[in-house]
Amino acid sequence: MSKSASPFRSRELHPERLIAPYARPELEALVARYGSPLLLIDCDVVRAQYQRLAAALPGVGLHYALKPLPELAVVATLKEIGACFDVASGGEAELVRSQGVAPERCIHTHPIKRDGDIRDALRFGIRTFVADNVDELGKFVRHRRRVEVLLRVAFRAADAVCDLSRKFGCDPAAVPELLSVARRLGVRVTGLSFHVGSQTPTPTMHVRAIEACAALMRAAHAGGHEPLSVLDIGGGFPIDYQQPVMPIEQFCAPIRAALAALPVGLRLLAEPGRYIAGPAGTVVATVTGRAWRDGRWWFYLDDGVYGSFSGQIYDHARYPVRALRDDGERVVAVLAGPTCDSIDVVDDAIELPLLEAGDLVVGSQMGAYTSASAGDFNFIRRARVLAVNQHGAGAA
């Protein structure tokens, strides 16, 4: 595919080496060189997050869900260390393919697909798909010799920040009937999947869903179905924002215990997105101006909720934000985005130094569901994406 026809936004790779926590002169130098706003993606952090989750969930094949941060550098970094991938659209499949990822390392998890979506994924070589109803199973009849399907079951974590089981997934009670329909259609169902919701503060619903799936698998077997041999436990693994969450080892311990109680020989998968991408992203924005309104300072940035901070709207996230210059008098201020819309406010009451035009503001934990959901409202340029620390330890 030629560069101009690429479905991807401008994604740039830079050989910058940057050691976290990033020092002020380094960030100032990057802005001087590449402009503002910037979204820095730290590939060292991508690697560390993947490895930490892999260690917390031994025996579980981690498939990075591209949705939170569909960036070349992230895919390339994860590919190098043996990760698998979870794609949900033709664009995501094209992105992993462009990085030379083998299709056997990918699953397609969108529960609702057009025939063209299935065909595109099959042409790339993906064989594992997800369905959650009779109509979707029917779409695989013509491809039945080439696909295996996971049934997505809905389990809702009441405490998840983002509910992903309202829109997708079948009622657990519907699984036996769906298995029967699949058998009649000749569509091979090999397992179950779920996604209890994103940024779940406790593992309670993961554990309950694993136990419920185990019971569904036993019932299917007893009902004479081919044994279900795959369990995909989805994503949801939480990260610190303004509020810290439990360490991932503690979060995964009861999940490990629940998985250990399953029959041996099951293939276990997970689809982490946020956990891998979130901590890797840092946004650097610049104050464009300020005003004193109604007894308060307003500082205006060149990035806001229509840009990298879009996750404050769509993802209900509150990012840790600080000024790079951290001296002198502090004031409680409003931090506003660049568009002419009044909703474009990053924080209504944030303690900051008395900033002025040109000062830099840094948002951390901003890799997931940030630039991915940003737009070009007001025709304001999105943050430029810069990947740093692209090559493994030892590279310059």
| Active site residues per annotation | 340
User: Measured from the CB of residue 70, what is the shortest distance to ligand PLP in angstroms?
Assistant: 11
**Structure token pair of residue 310:** 């879009």
SS3 64: strand
Q: Indicate which single residue of 70, 235, 281, 367 sits in contact with ligand PLP (rule: CB under 6 A).
A: 235
Does residue 66 touch ligand PLP according to CB under 6 A?
no
Q: How far is the CB of 337 from ligand PLP (least distance, A)?
A: 24
For the bound state, the minimum distance from the C-beta of residue 131 to ligand PLP, rounded and expressed in Å, comes to: 12
Contact between 113 and ligand PLP by CB under 6 A: the answer reads: no
Q: At its nearest, how many Å lie between ligand PLP and the CB of residue 264? A: 26
Question: Minimum Å distance from CB 164 to ligand PLP?
Answer: 6
Question: In angstroms, rounded to a whole number, what is the distance separating the alpha carbons of residues 23 and 164?
Answer: 38
Pairing assessment for the beta strands 296-301 and 384-388 based on DSSP bridges:
unpaired
Find the binder of ligand PLP among 36, 49, 89, 109 (CB under 6 A). Answer: 109
Eight-state DSSP code of residue 22: P
Q: Which of residues 248-287 bind ligand PLP (CB under 6 A)?
A: 271-275
Select 53 or 333, whichever has its Cβ closest to ligand PLP: 53
Q: Which is nearer to ligand PLP, 315 or 344 (CB)?
A: 315
Residue 367 interacts with ligand PLP (CB under 6 A): yes or no: no
Q: Quick one: which of 139, 150, 163, 147 has its CA closest to 109? A: 150
> Rounded to the nearest 5°, which phi and psi values hold at 196?
-75, -5
Q: Which of residues 76-105 bind ligand PLP (CB under 6 A)?
A: 86
| Local structure of 209: helix, strand or coil | helix
Q: Does residue 311 bind ligand PLP (CB under 6 A)?
A: no
Asked if 237 touches ligand PLP (CB under 6 A), the answer is yes
The residue with its CB nearest to ligand PLP is 235
Minimum gap (Å) between residue 278 Cβ and ligand PLP = 8
Please report how the helices 204-222 and 175-185 are oriented relative to each other, as an axis angle in degrees rounded to 10: 50
Options 198, 312, 364, 390; binder of ligand PLP; rule CB under 6 A: 198
Please say whether the beta carbons of 308 and 9 come within 8 A: no
Q: Which stretch binds ligand PLP (CB under 6 A): 63-71, 113-121, 170-178, 324-332?
A: 63-71
Per DSSP, the residues of 259-309 read HHTSPTT-EEEE---HHHHGGGEEEEEEEEEEEEETTEEEEEES--TTTGG
* Residue whose C-alpha is closest to residue 12's, from 32, 41, 49, 37: 41
Give the up-direction half-sphere exposure of residue 299: CA atoms within 13 A in the CB hemisphere. Answer: 26
Determine which residue in the list 41, 43, 62, 65 makes contact with ligand PLP, applying CB under 6 A. 65
Structure tokens at 378: 């007001």
Of 37, 38, 44, 67, the residue at the interface with ligand PLP (CB under 6 A) is 67
The residue to which tokens 């956990």 are assigned: 275
- Nearer to ligand PLP by C-beta: 22 or 309? 309
Query: Hey, how many other C-beta atoms are within 10 angstroms of the C-beta on 227?
Result: 13
Give whichever of 44 and 86 is closer to ligand PLP, judged by the CB atom.
86
Residue with tokens 């699949």: 182
Residues contributing to the site for ligand PLP (CB under 6 A): 65, 67-68, 86, 109, 164, 195, 198, 234-237, 271-275
